[in-house]
Structure 1
Amino acid sequence: MLDTAIIGGGLCGLALARQFKKQDRSFTLFEARPRLGGRILSAVASSNGAAFDLGPTWFWPDTQPLIAAFVAELGLASFPQHDEGTVLHLTEADKNPQGFAQEVHGGARRVAGGMARLVSVLAESIGEDRLRLNHVLHSVEDKGDHVVLTFRVDDAFFIVEARHVVVALPPRLVAETVRFIPELDSATFDAMGAAPTWMAQQAKVVMAYPSAFWRVAGQSGNAFVTHEQAVVGEIFDACDVTGAKAALGGFLSFPPDLREAFADGLSMLMDSQMVQVFGSAAEGGEQLYQDWAGEAFTCSARDKAEPRGEHVAFSNPLLRRPLWDGRLHLGSSETATQGAGYLEGALEAARRIDRALSRERAEETGAVIPEGLPVNAASLARFANWVAGQNDAAFEAYRIRLNRALASQDREQLTQRAMLGAIEDIYERAADLIETLPFDMSDVPVEKGRSALMGDVQLPFRDFIQTLLDDVVAFNRTSCALSNFPGEHHLSRDYVQTILRDVAAAWRDFCLAANRRLLAKAEAGAPLTPGAGSGPVLTRAS
């Protein structure tokens, strides 16, 4: 039996598989396509032999530190997106474009040789023996202590058993195509269906040319076509790092239904569009084209049917909860806290799942708190470990309180009261836990009525409030139930500040309560469990 089955060979699944390989975990990655990469796709032009990206093209080091560090860690070269020169804007179909100066891509970089270099390097580091292509996930069944997965392979079904499964696929696609036994809870299932798949409605074209004639003319290659008959709406320079292997790339403005209707003449229309913007030199470029709406393993029926909306770079926190007592995890970029839909989000999702499974493994082996620690260090480690697992509990408590308020037809301060109640409950339980932990207070200084241990008690909560607040904001933004409450659906800055003032008061109360418990222990004497070595220690038995 596998320890972990990873479903999906996009960046999230591949990054997670690479980490598991380093940890010597038992895993296999299953991919439905005959290739790895998911939405990462680089096609090679026959005219110049260069690889051009038809999926993700850029990353932004200033705002996306995970992917920037990952590219460097893999030893891949990157180069800045070419933005120098005039930007063209065509607003009317029967007129010439107007030129203006503007930097379009804001410090974006590209991977030399195409984003598919990421995929090939990752695949090589994982090893062919851990990778299975052409495995289409059909169903996932919880057996209590393990999970049974059924794949469709050609015309047959293939069964795999694993202790954990990571479904690193677009949540909306999973909701439509995968059967879960038992069914997922309705809140999670609704959150999956409500998560738009990034790029699912997009089509992208790259046109290769003998030379970058637009650069010679002082143009950046960036252009925007906004008239009603626009075919390619946003155009950019897609040349390689040297500029010698020339190409222009673009995103189609035609929606999926029009692309289907004009399929036979689309190539001619795209070529004509380039000529209209850049002149006769743009005629006859070699076209590399990808319509993601036609990809069964990317675009769901709902993605295809819905009008294209504004991209939201965060997700519903319900998509980040471990399910089936930690046996099932949802991955993919669409589940990320930040950078959802981007390569950054895929890596964040992989890191989240790796942390969750590593924490579970450490708890099973007893490696969370090493034996032989001095009693205070062990008690603080136990406390910190408990706090680390409370964000999910706090968010779930928030959601329950919010639903109760909605069911009671409350209208005022819904988020404020639900979040404060959830936090106060966690703080109360944390103070109770401190009372039960066996601290040795004999040599712990007390200054002005404050125990010297309080700094260590407060430290695990450093990111607790911000993480919970981020989850609350994301949940409210993606909640249909709150769409009729504009002030709760989109939290204003003033409302958030009011919530944080309440939270600060609750934090002060917790700190006072925790300090009182530590002082009481000092007065009464704390129970100890004897251990080996110098000084009192806490063993696992305690």
Structure 2
Amino acid sequence: MDVSSSNLTRRGLLGGLAGGALLASGALSAPVRAAAAGARDPLPGTADVVVVGGGISGLVTARELARAGRSVVLLDARDRVGGRVLNHTLANGSVIEAGGAFVGPTQDRILALAAELGVPTFKEHVAGDNIFAANGRTMRYQGTVPPDLAIVVDAFVLQLRIDWMAGQVPVDAPWSAPHAAEWDAVTVQEWVRANTFNRDTLTLLQSFLQPTYGSDGEDVSLLFFLWTIACSGNETTPGSFERASSTANGAQDSRFVGGSQLVPLALARQLGAVVQTEAAVRRIAQDDTGVTVTSDRGQVRAGRVVVAAPPPLVTAIDWDPLLPPLRQQLLTRLHLGTLMKVDAVYPSPFWRAAGLSGSGIATSGAVRTCFDNSPADAAVGVLLAFVGGSTWREYGNLPLAQRRTAVLQGFAQLVGPQALDPVEYVEQDWTRERWTKGSPVASAGTGTTTAYGAQIRVPFGRVHWAGTETATYWAGFMDGAVRAGERAAAEVLAQR
């Protein structure tokens, strides 16, 4: 195996360094596989509904339908459930998240679901100072925006404008915003450069864009970005850049004790034999009387289908009849960026004793954003970096040893030289995940939302759509996945 591309892949492999020695740990843990116990049972020949995709959205869809008395089969290509949500067990037995992890205020649906399933949350560590590293110097700060006089005025005014503009974007129909055509015609990069004095302001904004989309400002439409901000609320609370980007009281406010994958694992246990893994869907053919879904483990005939999979996987399915042209165009234009999650593990969260939060932003290097990713009991200290967009392009294909060195240097710049000597090093490169093929959420470039966005939730005959990309609040997050699953199930149940 090429160790430079080793990661937590479909087979659960991990490429990492501990004590200077290269490690590769093999099979998925027993709890992860427990939910896939029925993977080799014969598929039922018929069902009321087939759900394609075993992430949170597909599992919620299946549970809602099963509770309503429908017979359901859920098919997933992986040998596990969770989709873009994945736990990893460290050498000491602590658990961290290799995929989606954070929850926060206004994310009501995922929080309610987790509480029902008995999965508690804990607050992300924020006590202490953050670090901002730019132009060879570092400064300590608290809050969201670093107090760099060269950019602070730009950043303050920009945030006010973003919130004002996002307030004009309907979360369920961004293409209908009063200035939709104008805002969809420019990239975030073009707009920021035209509305700021200091070019470093855009560099600072990349610390939000790269972890969120796995893309830079040049790749994302301004309208799509504003819609993301608008989505960071709920039915009673408007979204804001502060909520979308902050830790305390924001999108990164809390995590799940034991890791976020406990939520889909609990759902799968409730569903039992409904969940069928290692069953990649290759073809979906519908006619006047039903739908035939062909997978690697056989065919299922159903009345309806709900597809809850990332856009590249949807377009890879053989459709009969073909997907409507407008939907096909939408899916091909919703691009998954490039994103890697990297964790360095230490005997303790040493930065806390130095009065640091473990959070930081850098304008260069392999680590542009840093979080304290330690488990709830702080049995070990863990630093997390998102390596996305152009930063991934610079570092993602380096040999593992070189990338590890660059990442650890980035951590050291933000929390001190002790970061250079971890006891364990973990990477999850989602671009190398066969059944994801990119960052945890799709984003849209210029022209896509106004021309094709209205197709996002439109059923295709007997086929309905779930997945976090189809949500109207917290799209791209676990909360959006839950909301999308609930909506898709309600659509199916409304059909005769």
- TM-score (norm: length of structure 1): 0.59
Aligned to 1:121: 266
Q: Deviation string for 1:280-335 (max 9, x for gaps)?
A: 2112321111011111211269x99x9999x99xx9331211221xx111211111
Aligned to 2:428: 290
**TM-fit CA distance, 1:256:** 4.0
Q: Is the Cα contact below 8 Å between 2:342 and 2:427 reproduced in 1?
A: yes
CA distance 1:300–1:267, shift in 2 (3 Å) = closer
Whole-Å separation in 2 of the counterparts to 1:300 and 1:86: 32
**TM-fit CA distance, 1:336:** 1.3
CA distance 1:259–1:307, shift in 2 (3 Å) = farther
How well do the aligned residues superpose, as a CA RMSD in angstroms?
A: 2.4
1:60 aligns with 2:94: no
Whole-Å separation in 1 of the counterparts to 2:101 and 2:64: 24
Aligned to 1:163: 303
* Structure 2 counterpart SS, 1:59: coil
Aligned to 1:86: 129
Aligned to 1:506: none
Q: Is the Cα contact below 8 Å between 2:339 and 2:438 reproduced in 1?
A: no
1:185 aligns with 2:185: no
Q: 1:331 aligns with which of 466, 469, 472?
A: 466
Structure 2 matches for 1:226-305, cutoff 5 A? 226-227=363-364, 230-253=365-388, 254-256=391-393, 258-285=395-422, 286-299=424-437
Whole-Å separation in 2 of the counterparts to 1:318 and 1:330: 10
Whole-Å separation in 1 of the counterparts to 2:265 and 2:420: 33
Q: Rg bigger for which structure?
A: 1
**TM-fit CA distance, 1:22:** 2.1
Whole-Å separation in 1 of the counterparts to 2:400 and 2:131: 27
Q: Is the Cα contact below 8 Å between 2:356 and 2:415 reproduced in 1?
A: no
Whole-Å separation in 2 of the counterparts to 1:51 and 1:270: 21
- TM-score (norm: length of structure 2): 0.65
Structure 2 matches for 1:349-388, cutoff 5 A? 349-360=484-495, 364=496
Whole-Å separation in 2 of the counterparts to 1:99 and 1:239: 21
Q: Is the Cα contact below 8 Å between 1:201 and 1:308 reproduced in 2?
A: no
1:149 aligns with 2:289: no
**TM-fit CA distance, 1:189:** 1.4
* Structure 2 counterpart SS, 1:190: helix
Structure with the bigger RCO (C-alpha within 8 Å, sep 6+) is 2
* Structure 1 counterpart SS, 2:481: helix
Aligned to 1:399: none
* Structure 2 counterpart SS, 1:347: helix
Q: If each structure's helix is expressed as a fraction of its own residues, which one has the higher value? A: 1
Moved over 4 A (4+): 306-309
Q: How many residues align?
A: 340
Listed as ranges, the gaps of 5+ residues in structure 1 are 365-542
Residue 434 of structure 2 aligns with an amino acid whose one-letter code is A
Listed as ranges, the gaps of 5+ residues in structure 2 are 1-45, 145-245
**TM-fit CA distance, 1:211:** 0.7
Whole-Å separation in 2 of the counterparts to 1:204 and 1:281: 20
Whole-Å separation in 1 of the counterparts to 2:445 and 2:367: 16
Q: 2:277 aligns with which of 119, 122, 133?
A: 133
CA distance 1:148–1:257, shift in 2 (3 Å) = farther
**TM-fit CA distance, 1:262:** 4.1
Q: Deviation string for 1:97-140 (max 9, x for gaps)?
A: 2211225413211111110111221111111x112111111111
* Structure 1 counterpart SS, 2:61: helix
Residue 333 of structure 2 aligns with an amino acid whose one-letter code is A
Whole-Å separation in 2 of the counterparts to 1:183 and 1:265: 45
**TM-fit CA distance, 1:269:** 1.9
Q: Is the Cα contact below 8 Å between 1:195 and 1:334 reproduced in 2?
A: no
Whole-Å separation in 2 of the counterparts to 1:242 and 1:102: 24
